[in-house]
Each structure stands twice: as structure tokens, then as C-alpha cells.
Amino acid sequence: MAKKGCKNPEEHGNLHLCSLRGKEISAEVEKLFSDPHFVCANCGIRVNRAENVCNPKPF
């Protein structure tokens, strides 16, 4: 199986919501999940902005 990773980590480090998954998050971060338009092809998390996940795909 191919290793799943961020497509462009040099642009932002490890600041994706993918890495926050399962952790306690603030109300501000929770807003990033409202009205999702993208899904991370690695972990399946759904968000409203593509730049917030490692491997975004529109849905």
C-alpha cells in the first residue's frame, strides 16, 4: 500500500485539520468543519477549505 502524506508540506508544515482529528479543538477550529466542500483523500475528514487538509478532493 502506498504511503499517504501531505501533497505540499513545505507550504504549511503540519497545520492541517487532519492532524487535529480526534483531539480536543476550539470553537474557532470547529467552524472550519461547517459547510464542508472538500474531503481529505487520506483520512476522510470533511472541511470547507481545501488548504486545511493534506490531500483535498472536492465532493
Instruction: Find, among 40, 44, 43, the residue nearest to 57 by Cα.
Output: 40
Domain that holds residue 45: 9-58
- Domains contained in the chain, number: 1
Residue 1 lies in a domain: no
Residue 3 lies in a domain: no
In the predicted structure, residue 3 carries a pLDDT above the cut 70: no
Residue 4 lies in a domain: no
Instruction: Find, among 14, 2, 22, the residue nearest to 53 by Cα.
Output: 14
Residue 53 lies in a domain: yes
Q: What is the pTM of this model?
A: 0.61
pLDDT tens per residue across span 4-58: 666 666 665 556 666 666 566 677 778 888 899 999 998 898 999 998 888 999 9
pLDDT of residue 15: 63
Residue 42 lies in a domain: yes
